[in-house]
């Protein structure tokens, strides 16, 4: 199977010329197979063609050049991340067995994203899914290594408890401390928290007072750090199953009911599996900074017939006169 650029009739041989001109390193395969390199390590044509069923099937006969550039970019990212993981932390790339295990049985924190990516990419092959799984393993390893190197787990565990506490909670918001105390008295008398939240709470967007993940409304388990500080601190210390408050924030006076809490009991428990507790948003920010660094410092070359790498956008800019690629079995 071969790629050629419709309009300029660039064949794989033309790619090879561009590759040689750019001084791309070639390992055991012919230079005609090389589409890009990262720090001298090549990415081959088949590495891209293996990612989507339309490449393998030759349907449609013409495939958008942007699609090929997008998939090549994904390969470039994965290789840059794997190299940086080894260079920065002396952690080897995931083994095929580890990647397959992650693909077939991802941790709960990755399940929803894996499903979403699969739905958004109906033509993705198992190899594409393995690439996603590999990147998730590298990202997890990098986050843990960065945190351990920067501040250590003890500092987070001791001084940033909201980052490692997840709760399912409900609240009733009132406009004064007196109103919140009246709510507590009615709850002590046996009235339903859910009914009082529906009747009295200023937060009309949370039925029954239940707080849910805005990115996943079916899920009420949310990292405490996603709330304003006063509320987040209360989620860490409130007794599970007992109304707690009043707690003042800029939104009013809250009566809080923690229904479920997941937090490490000891530093050893947290350090053994930090990503099971760490706020996903915080972990994603740590990962993004490291990934930007990994790509930014990599020497990335792309065969000129396919486009050119643009460090400003971390992507491949297409050639001016070629946007459609023909797939020839």
Q: 166-262 adopts what CATH topology?
A: Chitinase A; domain 3 (3.10.50)
Q: What is the DSSP letter of 52?
A: B
CA distances 69 to 2, 45, 64, 129, 224, Å, are 15, 11, 9, 18, 40
Residue 112: per-residue pLDDT: 85
CB 152 within 8 A of CB 222: no
197-219-287-148 Cα dihedral, nearest 10 degrees: 80
Tokens of 268: 């050893």
CA distance 251 to 5: 58
Backbone φ and ψ for 232, nearest 5 degrees, come out as: -60, -45
CA distance 139 to 323: 32
CA distance 163 to 48: 38
Continuous H helices in 161-228:
177-188, 193-200
Tokens of 134: 């590999």
Tokens of 277: 């507790």
CA distance 51 to 49: 6
**Mind giving me the DSSP string for 303-322?**
-TTT-EEETTTTEEEPPTT-
Query: Where in the sequence of the chain do the CATH 3.10.50.40 domains occur?
Result: 166-262
Name residues of the chain where pLDDT drops below 70.
Answer: 1-32, 56-64, 321-329
How much of the chain is in helix, strand and coil states, percent to nearest 5?
Answer: 50, 20, 30
CA distance 82 to 78: 6
Residue 26: per-residue pLDDT: 31
Residue 57: per-residue pLDDT: 61
The helix or strand, by DSSP H or E, that contains position 44, with its residue range, turns out to be strand 41-44
Residue 325: per-residue pLDDT: 53
pTM comes to: 0.80
Radius of gyration, alpha carbons of the chain: 26
CA distance 180 to 248: 10
Tokens of 284: 């994603």
CA distance 126 to 100: 10
């Amino acid at each position: 199977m071969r790629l050629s650029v419709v309009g300029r009739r660039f064949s794989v041989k033309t790619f090879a010329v561009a590759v040689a001109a750019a001084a791309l390193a070639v390992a055991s395969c012919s230079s005609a197979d090389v589409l890009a390199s990262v720090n001298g390590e090549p990415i081959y044509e088949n590495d891209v063609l293996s990612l989507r069923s339309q490449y393998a099937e030759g349907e449609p006969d013409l495939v958008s050049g942007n699609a090929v550039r997008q998939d090549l970019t994904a390969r470039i990212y994965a290789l840059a991340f794997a190299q940086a993981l080894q260079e920065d932390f002396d952690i080897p790339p995931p083994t095929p067995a580890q990647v397959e295990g992650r693909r077939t049985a991802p941790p709960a924190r990755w399940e929803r994203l894996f499903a979403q990516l699969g739905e958004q990419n109906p033509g993705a092959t198992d190899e594409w899914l393995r690439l996603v799984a590999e990147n998730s393993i590298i990202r997890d390893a990098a986050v843990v290594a960065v945190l351990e190197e920067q501040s250590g787990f003890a500092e987070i565990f001791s001084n940033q408890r909201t980052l490692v506490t997840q709760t399912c909670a409900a609240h009733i918001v009132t406009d004064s401390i007196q109103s919140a105390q009246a709510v507590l008295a009615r709850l002590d008398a046996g009235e339903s928290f859910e009914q009082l939240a529906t009747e009295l709470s200023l937060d009309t967007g949370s039925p029954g007072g239940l707080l849910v993940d805005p990115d996943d409304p079916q899920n009420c388990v949310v990292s405490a750090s996603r709330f304003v500080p006063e509320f987040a601190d209360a989620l860490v210390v409130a007794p599970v199953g007992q109304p707690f408050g009043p707690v003042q924030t800029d939104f009013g006076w809250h009566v809080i009911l923690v229904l479920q809490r997941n937090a490490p009991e000891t530093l050893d428990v947290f350090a053994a599996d930090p990503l099971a507790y760490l706020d996903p948003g915080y972990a994603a920010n740590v990962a993004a900074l490291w990934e930007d660094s990994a790509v930014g410092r990599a020497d990335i070359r792309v065969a000129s017939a396919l486009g050119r790498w643009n460090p400003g956008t971390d992507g491949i800019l297409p050639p001016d006169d070629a946007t459609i690629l023909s797939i020839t079995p």
